[in-house]
Structure 1
Amino acid sequence: MKTVKLLSLLFITAIAASCSSVRVNSDYDDNADFSQYKTYGFLDKAIEKAEISDLDKKRILNAIDAEFQKKGFTKSENPSLLVNIFTKANKEVNVNQWGYGGGWGWGGGYGWGWGGPGFWGGNYTSVNTSTEGTLFIDLIDSNKKELVWQGVGSGVLTLDRDKKQQRINEFVSEIMKQFPPQKKK
């Protein structure tokens, strides 16, 4: 029985660990010349509408600031790129059932028939809930007022205050790895 509980714990841990990564995608305007962009600023009025706490908005904007600075961009009052964010969240419920036990098949040395409860015995069910979040980062050409790049990251969120900034940094970093886009020749 201890073996089953240990296997169950390892299974749940493996599922939780697999949920920790951020899945990212990006899209961009093929006609945009990304080498011309050197400065950025935030589209404050649009960001205010994001349906997350002001604290999380600040965390996201700080992470975006850090990523742009790593890439050599300068924050400006008259930027070439305007940054907008928006978010979505979905509650996910995962129900896992597994077990070992009887059923029709080879029956314990007695020939074909009911196999009995078997060595492990029992069925197990686990229910896990998590919140899957999606962060969209839009980059808008400030002169043309057109979207030129959009990065999207999705993954499991944390409510643990001490881990929030780390998780947000992970989301933003993974998304921003795809900017500027490497156009295929």
Structure 2
Amino acid sequence: MIADHHAMAGSLACLLFGLAACTSIDVRTEHDPAADFSRFKTFAFAERPVAEESGLDNDAAARDRIESALSRELTNRDVHRVRVEQQPDLTVYYAVAVHEKIQKAWRTGYGWGARYGGGQTTYPYEEGTLIVDLVDPVKQELMWRATMNTHLEETSTGRLDQADRAIARAFEQYPPRTEAAK
């Protein structure tokens, strides 16, 4: 019975860490406070570098999903996609990074002899970061940046859904209130 209690406590800890990982997306935005965001009516995605560290070049589904989510959010704010050669008001850059991490958790419980008090367990996971930059292509200046961090889900579908939710949350803060808009 005590062994069952320990197994159940360990399973509960895994479940709680898994739920926390699924629901927590840290979204931060920053912007040029002097920018007049009302003048940005068109955007285009920047040309992608040939080789990218994140491996996004090999993942067409991820690129398509991220670009689709970014297009949706900008279009919903009356900023429409054009081709780069049409001289957009904003150029959109984005980058994805994935890092291996280890979560440490303390087990508690009672056992025979020296096992009283539990011990430490580790859980490996991956953390993902998505950075989106909106750049004025004429001035080559950053106008707005969103940085999104989360524990990644294990499936590619889950990860794509996370990217979608993160982008939607980031754009809740776009366009920002600026000095130029006052």
| C-alpha displacement of 1:121 | 5.4
- Which of 71, 81, 99 is the aligned partner of 1:75? 81
**Do the aligned partners of residues 50 and 44 (structure 1) sit closer, same or farther apart at CA in structure 2, a change above 3 Å counting?**
farther
Separation (CA, whole Å) in 1 of partners of 2:38 and 2:31: 14
Cα deviation for residue 164 of structure 1 reads 3.0
Matched, 1:168 2:169: no
Give the 3-state SS of the residue equivalent to 1:144 in structure 2: coil
Alignment RMSD (CA, Å)? 2.7
Show structure 1 runs of 5+ residues with no match. 103-115
- Is 1:62 the counterpart of 2:68? The answer is yes
1:9-57 CA-partner distances (Å, limit 9, x unpaired): 2222112211221101111111100111111110113596463333222
The reply to whether residue 158 of structure 1 matches residue 164 of structure 2 is: no
Which of 93, 97, 104 is the equivalent residue of 1:84?
Answer: 93
> Could you give the per-residue CA deviations for residues 122-179 of structure 1, whole angstroms, max 9, x where no partner exists?
7354321111111110000122221111110000123413323212201211222222
Q: Could you tell me which residue of structure 2 aligns to residue 179 of structure 1?
A: 174
Instruction: List gaps (5 residues or longer) in structure 2.
Output: none
**1:5-154 alignment, distance < 5 Å:** 5-20=7-22, 21-46=24-49, 49=52, 51-54=54-57, 55=60, 56-77=62-83, 78-101=87-110, 123=118, 125-154=120-149
User: Structure 1 residues 163 and 128 mapped into 2: Cα distance closer, same or farther (>3 Å)?
Assistant: same
> Greater Rg, structure 1 or structure 2?
1
Matched residue of 2:139: which SS? coil
Find the residue that maps to 2:48 and give its secondary structure: helix
Size of the aligned set, in residue pairs, is: 171
Q: Secondary structure at the match of 1:45?
A: coil
Change (3 A) 1:26 1:50: farther
Aligned counterparts of 1:61 and 1:147: Cα–Cα separation in 2: 19
Q: Percent identity of the aligned residues? A: 22
C-alpha distance in structure 2 between counterparts of 1:128 and 1:152, whole Å? 25
Quick one: distance in 1 between partners of 2:139 and 2:98? 31
**What amino acid sits opposite 1:178 in the alignment?**
Q
TM normalised by structure 2 equals 0.80
- The higher-RCO structure (CA 8 Å, 6+ apart) is 2
Q: Counterparts of 1:47 and 1:178 in 2: how far apart (Å)?
A: 31
